[in-house]
C-alpha cells in the first residue's frame, strides 16, 4: 500500500470510529484517496509554479485540463501514487515548456483533432451515465474547442490538448500497462 492509500485508510478508520453512521470504510477510503491524490498534485505543482512565478500558466493548465478531462474522459493510472506523481510532472511540463505555435503547436492541434474525433469521449460511463446523443455533443464541443486554437494559436493550449488526446489513446494504456476500467 502506498502512502496516499495508507493515509486515506487511516483517516477512514478515524471517521468510522468517531462517526458510526459514516459511509463504509471502502467508500470513505476510495473518496479520500481521490481527494488526497488530487490535492497533493495540485498543491505541489501550485507551490513550484508560485515560487517560479508561473501561477497564471498553472491556472490555465488546471482549468483547461480539468474541464477537458471531465468531459472527454481518458485512461487512469493503476495506483494513486503513480497518478499523483504523473499529474505533478505533466502539470510542471505544461507550465514550463514553452515553444512557438507555428509548427509544433499546429502539429499538436492537427493530431489532437484526429485523436479526439476517434476516441473522445472515452470511459466517462464509468463515472456517470451519458447517453449516446450527449457523447456526440461532447465530441463536437471538444473538436470545436480544438478548432478554436487554430485561431488563437496558443502553444499552451496545444500542449494541454495533446496531453489529453494522448490519455484517450490505446497507446497510453499500453505504455503504462493499464487495465481498461470501461
In a domain, 156, yes or no: yes
In a domain, 79, yes or no: yes
Q: Which of 21-25, 65-69, 173-177 has the highest mean pLDDT?
A: 65-69
DSSP, collapsed to helix, strand or coil, labels residue 130 as coil
pLDDT (tens digit, 9 = 90+) per residue, 17-54?
A: 999 889 999 999 999 999 999 999 999 999 999 999 99
Q: C-alpha cell of 103? A: 509548427
Closest C-alpha among 11, 99, 98, 90 to residue 44: 90
In a domain, 45, yes or no: yes
In a domain, 63, yes or no: yes
In a domain, 121, yes or no: yes
CA–CA gap between residue 163 and residue 176 (Å, rounded): 14
CA–CA gap between residue 17 and residue 61 (Å, rounded): 39
Confidence (pTM) = 0.91
* Chain centre to alpha carbon of residue 167: 8
CA–CA gap between residue 116 and residue 136 (Å, rounded): 11
CA–CA gap between residue 148 and residue 154 (Å, rounded): 10
In a domain, 60, yes or no: yes
Question: What length does the chain have?
Answer: 182
User: What range does the domain containing 60 cover?
Assistant: 3-175
Percent pLDDT > 70 in the chain is: 97
In a domain, 182, yes or no: no
* Chain centre to alpha carbon of residue 166: 11
In a domain, 180, yes or no: no
Specify the number of domains making up the chain: 1
pLDDT (tens digit, 9 = 90+) per residue, 73-121?
A: 998 898 999 999 999 999 999 999 999 999 999 999 999 999 999 999 9
- Give backbone dihedrals phi and psi of 109, rounded to 5 degrees, phi first: -65, -40
Amino acid at each position: 500500500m502506498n502512502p496516499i492509500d495508507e493515509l486515506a485508510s487511516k483517516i477512514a478508520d478515524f471517521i468510522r470510529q468517531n462517526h458510526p453512521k459514516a459511509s463504509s470504510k471502502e467508500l470513505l477510503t476510495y473518496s479520500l484517496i481521490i481527494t488526497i491524490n488530487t490535492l497533493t498534485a495540485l498543491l505541489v505543482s501550485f507551490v513550484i509554479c508560485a515560487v517560479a512565478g508561473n501561477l497564471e500558466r498553472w491556472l490555465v493548465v488546471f482549468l483547461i485540463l480539468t474541464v477537458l478531462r471531465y468531459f472527454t474522459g481518458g485512461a487512469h493510472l493503476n495506483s494513486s501514487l503513480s497518478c499523483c506523481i504523473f499529474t505533478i510532472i505533466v502539470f510542471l511540463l505544461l507550465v514550463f515548456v514553452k515553444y512557438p505555435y507555428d509548427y509544433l503547436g499546429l502539429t499538436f492541434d492537427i493530431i489532437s483533432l484526429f485523436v479526439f474525433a476517434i476516441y473522445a469521449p472515452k470511459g466517462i460511463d464509468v463515472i456517470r451515465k451519458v447517453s449516446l446523443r450527449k457523447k456526440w455533443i461532447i465530441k463536437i464541443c471538444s473538436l470545436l474547442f480544438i478548432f478554436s486554437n487554430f485561431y488563437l494559436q496558443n502553444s499552451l493550449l496545444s500542449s494541454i490538448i495533446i496531453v489529453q488526446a494522448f490519455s484517450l489513446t490505446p497507446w497510453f494504456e499500453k505504455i503504462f500497462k493499464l487495465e481498461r476500467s470501461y
